[in-house]
Amino acid sequence: MIGGGRIVGLVLMIGSALLLAAFAAWALAAMSAEETTSAGMVLGMFLALIVLAPIFGVGAYVFRKGTVEKVQYAQVAQEKKILNMVLTQGQVTMGELVAGLGAPREDVESMIRNLVGKQLFSGAINWDKGLLYSVESQQLTEGRKCPNCGGDLQFAGKGLIVCPYCGSEVFLTKRAAAATSTETSTETPAASAATQAVTPASPEGRPQESQTGENA
């Protein structure tokens, strides 16, 4: 169970505290009945602390870890909800996301950036307009067009680029970004070879003669 460590940690902390309190009450009663001395009571409390303090510490650690897990799980659930809304509708506004999640805009923006950083889906977002698009990676890599303004894009192996025309952030999945990197690396040698194959022309439009021909 997510966050179940909180219950275990709480039980350990409460249990160790109750045992220490019970031992202290017994030691006080024993000293009142003159069954032990004050030095014996102090020694007994010290030994009890040595035994119970680690148990309390383990409980506190488990409780804290369970709390962190619960917070992380809640954030993952919110991010999954954003992902489902975008993939289902294709385009959502920031206002719709804020209303649907019941979270501040700053938190929603942080979750969106986290999703983009994980490269879990492809699309684009225009922060000025507050619009989030979901576009298939194949459509983005084949069309090379910005979903917001239609401007030309060059991914070149990058999972996230900024449209030079409208400023929208366009992002791909990890696999799609790697594919664009492969395409770029295969096209570059061919382009350079084609450039080298072209014979430079003279100012009159005729091919320049080689140095050997002039000397001859």
pLDDT tens for 122-142 read 788 888 888 888 777 667 767
Whether residue 173 contacts residue 141, with contact meaning beta carbons closer than 8 Å, is answered with no
Cα dist from 25 to 21, 35, 40, 88, 165, whole Å: 6, 14, 14, 63, 76
Q: Is residue 96 part of a domain?
A: yes
User: Do 42 and 3 belong together in one domain?
Assistant: yes
| Domain tally, the chain | 2
What is the maximum span of the chain, computed from C-alpha positions, in angstroms? 127
Whether residue 15 contacts residue 55, with contact meaning beta carbons closer than 8 Å, is answered with yes
Residue range 112-131: average pLDDT? Answer: 81
User: Do 184 and 128 belong together in one domain?
Assistant: yes
Average the pLDDT over each of 66-70, 73-77, 160-164, 197-201 and give the range with the smallest value. Answer: 197-201
User: Do 99 and 181 belong together in one domain?
Assistant: yes
Domain that holds residue 37: 1-76
Q: Work out the number of other CB atoms within 10 angstroms of the CB of residue 15.
A: 14
Residue range 149-166: average pLDDT? Answer: 77
Run of H or E residues at 162:
strand 160-162
Instruction: Say if residue 75's pLDDT is above 60.
Output: yes
User: Do 14 and 43 belong together in one domain?
Assistant: yes
Distance separating alpha carbons of residues 78 and 88, to the nearest angstrom: 15
Q: Would you state the pLDDT for residue 2?
A: 63
Q: Would you state the pLDDT for residue 158?
A: 62
Domain boundary among 52, 76, 100: 76
Whether residue 212 contacts residue 161, with contact meaning beta carbons closer than 8 Å, is answered with no
User: Do 110 and 180 belong together in one domain?
Assistant: yes
More confident: 215 or 157: 157
Q: Residue for token digits 């506004």? A: 93
Domain boundary among 13, 44, 76: 76
Instruction: Say if residue 69's pLDDT is above 70.
Output: yes
Domain boundary among 76, 104, 122: 76
Residue range 189-198: average pLDDT? Answer: 42
